[in-house]
Amino acid sequence: MSIRPFRDIKRKKTKVINVGNLKIGGDNPISVQSMTNTLTKDVKSTINQINQITEAGADLVRVSCPDEESTQALKKIVHSVNVPIIADIHFHYKRAIEAAVNGASCLRINPGNIGSIDKIKEVIKAAKDNDCSIRVGVNAGSLEKDILEKFKEPCPEALVESALRNIEILENENFSNLKVSVKSSDVFLSIAAYRQLSKKVEYPLHIGITEAGSFLPGTIKSSIGFGSLLLDGIGDTIRVSLSDDPVEEVKVGNEILKSLNLRHRGVKIISCPSCARQGFQVIDTVKILEQKLSHIKTPITLSIIGCVVNGPGEAAMTDIGITGGQKGSNMLYISGLQTTKVQTDEIINRVVEEVQKKVSELENK
């Protein structure tokens, strides 16, 4: 059972590109990505972290390639994981060529800081020869010197001009398997830049609020920025940039998409903040259930409401629901219908059991 969205988001129809076996843009699902924080040349640690990020729900993973050891490590990494790998390249055009040759599915570069046109042409040729896409990644903190001199400071127009300049470099070499980002740590600057760029290009846009901060402020800034853009239909891939475990970035990214009904993966829990009316400890119950159900990928809705004020109404719109009752007698709902009373000390096990049943039912359809 799913809740019908009050508003359907109409996404801008962008050009479809390939990043490995993943299609980005058009009507394809908005993808979630993160980035490793291991040393890429530490192959074992990097593979382990990529697998953790993928298990959390990432569709793409980016790794930094600052030196030749890192690009050589890609040979083993790409064959040991089940997700397209993006190589993050700055300044060194040879690192971009090596990454493409060694199996990267995408190069994240800013063509303007790679070097001369001849060097950029070599990178583009390597990308073409190895079926590798490119992300033109513009950041407010690393704009070209002449653009900064022109606009005096980072502003939406400066980010867009940089992006268009770099896109033109690729297009002049007949390369179009690309996506674009115009990131800033300032929410309003980012939103304005993406809105301007979206009107000027048909390429898929990778959206993000760069260097957003630690978990709580970074999550809030990203939610505001992403929500504003996604509600406008802007965005084909996302990355939440947190000073935290990359797995947390993926969880937040998926939750943002789920909250907008743009992605349906795993258990979506609707729960109350709790108050004196609660028939059981809602907060503790939700925390335990989030942990016990985190491995589930099948879309399921679950409501955990502490009393009968909103409980029956929320339960009527979810696959499984629990509503708090007096003296430890709580009501279990299945597919919106009352089924049986559940004692407080049985809630966790019973909900897990019912979720597992629902997963089995959905997977066997």
- Tens digits of residue pLDDT in 129-143: 999 999 999 998 888
Question: Which percentage of the chain shows pLDDT scores above 70?
Answer: 98
Confidence of residue 7 (pLDDT cuts 50, 70, 90): low
> What are the φ and ψ backbone dihedral angles of 305, each rounded to 5 degrees?
-120, 130
The answer to whether residue 203 scores a pLDDT higher than 90 is yes
- The structure tokens listed for 263 are 């992605």
The answer to whether residue 53 scores a pLDDT higher than 70 is yes
Confidence of residue 5 (pLDDT cuts 50, 70, 90): low
212 vs 135, more confident: 135
> Tell me, what's the pLDDT at 144?
87
Mean pLDDT along residues 57-63: 96
Dihedral of the alpha carbons of 161, 181, 176, 24, in degrees to the nearest 10: -150
Mean pLDDT along residues 291-295: 91
Q: What is the average pLDDT value for the chain, to the nearest integer?
A: 93
> Tell me, what's the pLDDT at 364?
83
Note whether 193 and 156 are within 8 A (CB).
yes
- What structural domains and CATH numbers belong to the chain? 17-259 (3.20.20.20), 267-363 (3.30.413.10)
pLDDT tens per residue across span 70-98:
999 999 999 999 999 999 998 899 999 99
> Tell me, what's the pLDDT at 6?
54
Confidence of residue 42 (pLDDT cuts 50, 70, 90): very high
For the chain, the residue count is: 365
110 vs 250, more confident: 250
Question: Which percentage of the chain shows pLDDT scores above 90?
Answer: 81
The answer to whether residue 179 scores a pLDDT higher than 60 is yes
> Tell me, what's the pLDDT at 110?
78
> Tell me, what's the pLDDT at 122?
93
Q: For residue 224, how many other CB atoms are within 10 A of its CB?
A: 15
pLDDT tens per residue across span 111-121:
667 778 888 89
Give 317's Cβ-side CA count (13 Å radius).
12
Distance CA 87, CA 33 (A): 13
Interhelix angle 215-231/187-200, nearest 10 degrees: 30
